[in-house]
Structure 1
Amino acid sequence: MRLPIQIERLYLDFDGFFASVEQQARPHLRGCPVGVTPFAGAEHTCVIACSREAKLRGVKNVMPIAEARERCPDIILVPQTPDLYRRAHNALLSEISAVIPVDAVKSIDELTCRVAPADRDEPLTLAKRIKARIAENIGPYLTCSVGFAANRQLAKMACKAGKKLDERSYGDGCAIWFPRDMPAPLLRLELKDIPGVGSRMESKLFRAKIHSMADLLATQPKHMRKLWGNVTGGRLWYALHGYDIQTPPSGRGMYGHGRVLPPENRRPEHARSASRLLATKAGRRMRRDGWNAGRLALWLDLMRDGSCSRSRGLPAVHDDQAILSALQSLWDEVGDSLPPRARVMRLGVTLFDLTRASERQLDILLDDDATRRRWERATEAIDALNRKYGRTLVSIGPWTPPPGGYAGGKNQLHAHSARRGFLVSP
């Protein structure tokens, strides 16, 4: 385990990504407070992303629209356009890669890079080169904040700290934490500023008499491992103290999709139809990557009635018939527990307990191998047709996306650079 004496990591986070992409692509939105909503005419849902101008007026992500309008009466609400965001993501990756190799894509609007020795003494110059290339080749409204530090954990925290330097500005920041200056920048932060420390973990730390960043830094690695209940706590201690922590690669854990339903499509029958699309999309991605699922989960977020969830075991399958049959069984269970006149605001479907499709072991109590293989061949033929024509041409059962034409967001974006794939207005 090394203790770097120079900056070695860069963390980049785009500012209000969905909203800034909308501003870059649509000139009439530029300079205005913008809020992105799940679909058009969504007055009874939330703002899923907002522009820098809206954030300076007190609007936050996942804020109810009524509250957003109260804080910023002139906010302009636009429905999300996921395909536009994916094209922007791919184009941005291409431009950034021309300046510095991208080490890991963390999400659609975050990435990390290793800083070359030649750039470690002048990181601000590197940040300016990246921002200038984005502004010149894609557009000036897609701004980003950049953090530099000895390791990825500290670089991410520096990036977040540099995003909002004062009450009059937001985004387009750059924070540089040289190892020689540590831990002074950390001591200005709160415990909740550590990625992964939510309200529950913060309360747990308070009960352990850890009330500040100074208290946490003074804690021993073994104590932090005990507080977190696993090796994550110990790794975090070393990362906060500037060590180069290399987390071992983890296997794929799940494939899932979620969807906010439009107000007029929130009855259980609408949610059931939408869940079929989500399960089918998750199954496609799982098959493409060569996995089988051993369990399927369904969760529903109800308006005024809390939430509910169910899961069901699967015999290591990946074909649509097996996944949709299990989903039907889950809905049969859920139907009995839903309150009268239930309204489903959000839902999600997840495939997990994954095993490699090439290593499938048959259940000796379930003689379904011949049936499974027939359905797998049928599903492979369906996938081939849909890939060839670039859309859902064939499906098992009806394919009826809810209003808005967007079937659901996946839990992780696997991007492939596509230079100039994002077309913007001048």
Structure 2
Amino acid sequence: MRKPETIERLYLDFDGFFASVEQQCDKRLRGRPVGVVPFEGTDRTAVIACSKEAKAYGVKNVMKIKDAKALCPDLILVPQKPDLYRRAHNALLCEIESVIAIDTAKSIDELTCILDERGRRDPEGLAHKIKETIKLNVGEFITSSIGFAANRQLAKMACKAGKDASKRAGQYGNGLAIWHPNMMPNPLFEVKLADVPGVGDNMRMRLAHSQVITTEQLYNLQPKHMRKIWRSVNGERLWYALHGYDIQAIPQKRGMFGHGRVLPPESRSINGAYEIARLLLVKAGRRLRREEYYAEALWLWLSVRDDSWFRIVKMPTVNDEQAIMTAHRMLWDYVRRELPRNTTIFRVGITLADLSQANARQLDIFNNDDVIRQKWERANGAMDALNAKYSSTIVHMGEWKPPAGGHVGGKISYVRIPSAEDFY
């Protein structure tokens, strides 16, 4: 395994991305505290992203609106515009590509690059050029923090450290940190354990049982010990990453297609939640077919007051809307039997799981319906083609009435980059 002797990776994270895009596009919002919310007209939801001005008051992402307003009475609430953020993401990547090739877009607001000789020699100059290119060609209100290190994991941590340092200096945004291998591991020891990629709440509890509560203590473990704590090879891989080795990401296999949504107040009944879940499932089914997969299971998750409800139903190996909707109706029959009629549902999640690729589909010998399935697949193929041609949902099964705030299936996302097809 190779251990680089110099910096080889850049990690970039846009600062307050969704809120800064709003400020760039609307002059009235510039220099003012902004909170992006799922939909307008209600205080019974959460701020899902906020500007640096709002953060200066203590407002945080995923904070209840009433709590955010208590901290910042002048907070301006802006309903989300996911397609705007998707287009901004694409525009920003084009500008960055004019300076350095992008290796991977990790999410809608994060990316990583492999440094060339010039970038390794002058990281400050490279960072300055990237930021100036964005400022001149996109806008000055979209800023970014950049970290440089020997590998992707350390560069991500350096990026976060640079952002935190700029915040402490009263200059939130435009952070920069360069962790040369000859500086390590001292900068790493200043990082909180919670800020180490791969160390979530549950893992911190496991580490605490092993008397590991700081990043320095984690660094000083042995690789086999970390594998034991993680109960997988991921712990050992993290050890090598923290010690500066070139660790490549394991290729990820597609596991599911799903969508979730916070419900507007008028849709928080069982019938209202059913309709939104149905539309979300239509979008998930379209994605399933675009990427040429079949599914064998459908999951439904509901957030209700002080509790949640979850159920799975099995399906034949299918991807057509008729079969998927049949399973969906079965799930909601369970909901109506098991939950009181007046139940308030705050959030719904629907997921197609147990996937197989189209060229590996296994038919169920006890359910000889392949002729029916082929008929429905042809019908869905024709509908999908028409919708794609006109970039709009013009052909559909059942009613098509997106809820308040729209964006069924194309909602704001920190982990998945929406495609244009998600928005019709």
TM-score (normalised: structure 2): 0.95
Which structure would you say has the larger RCO, counting Cα contacts within 8 Å and 6 or more residues apart? 1
Q: Give unpaired runs (5+ residues) of structure 1.
A: 417-426
CA positional deviation for 1:42: 2.6
Distance of 2:306 and 2:395 partners within structure 1: 36
> Mapping of 1:197-276 within 5 angstroms?
197-276=199-278
Cross-structure match for 1:46: 46
Q: Contact 1:162–1:171 (CA<8 Å) still a contact in 2?
A: no
Cross-structure match for 1:124: 124
Identity %: 56
CA positional deviation for 1:245: 0.5
Cross-structure match for 1:423: none
Q: Give the counterpart letter for 1:355 in structure 2.
A: S
Q: Give the counterpart letter for 2:230 in structure 1.
A: W
Cross-structure match for 1:352: 353
Cross-structure match for 2:321: 320
Deviations 1:139-179 (A, max 9, x none): 00000111111101011111111112143232210111111
Matched, 1:29 2:29: yes
Q: Give the counterpart letter for 2:196 in structure 1.
A: I
Q: Give the counterpart letter for 1:301 in structure 2.
A: S
CA positional deviation for 1:60: 0.3
Which piece of structure 1 moves more, 341-350 or 273-282? 341-350
Q: Give unpaired runs (5+ residues) of structure 2.
A: none
Distance of 1:415 and 1:111 partners within structure 2: 17
Runs of 4+ displaced beyond 6 Å: none
Q: Give the counterpart letter for 2:370 in structure 1.
A: D
CA positional deviation for 1:370: 0.6
Cross-structure match for 2:306: 305
Which piece of structure 1 moves more, 352-361 or 61-70? 352-361
Distance of 1:23 and 1:268 partners within structure 2: 37
Distance of 1:205 and 1:169 partners within structure 2: 34
Matched, 1:391 2:392: yes
Secondary structure, aligned partner of 1:119: helix
Secondary structure, aligned partner of 2:21: helix
CA positional deviation for 1:188: 0.6
Q: Contact 1:292–1:354 (CA<8 Å) still a contact in 2?
A: yes
Deviations 1:223-279 (A, max 9, x none): 111111111111001000000011331221111111111112211111100011111
Q: Contact 1:89–1:415 (CA<8 Å) still a contact in 2?
A: no
Distance of 2:398 and 2:228 partners within structure 1: 49
CA positional deviation for 1:31: 0.3
What is the Cα-based RMSD across aligned positions, in Å?
1.3
CA positional deviation for 1:415: 6.0
Deviations 1:291-340 (A, max 9, x none): 111211111111x2311111112222111111111111111112222244
Alignment length (residue pairs): 415
Cross-structure match for 1:412: 416
Distance of 2:25 and 2:371 partners within structure 1: 51
Q: Give the counterpart letter for 1:37 in structure 2.
A: V
Q: Give the counterpart letter for 2:11 in structure 1.
A: Y
Distance of 2:317 and 2:174 partners within structure 1: 47
Q: Contact 2:11–2:155 (CA<8 Å) still a contact in 1?
A: yes
Secondary structure, aligned partner of 1:293: strand
> Mapping of 1:3-402 within 5 angstroms?
3-165=3-165, 166-167=167-168, 168-302=170-304, 304-402=305-403
Q: Contact 1:294–1:314 (CA<8 Å) still a contact in 2?
A: yes
Deviations 1:105-141 (A, max 9, x none): 1111111110112210211110110000000000000
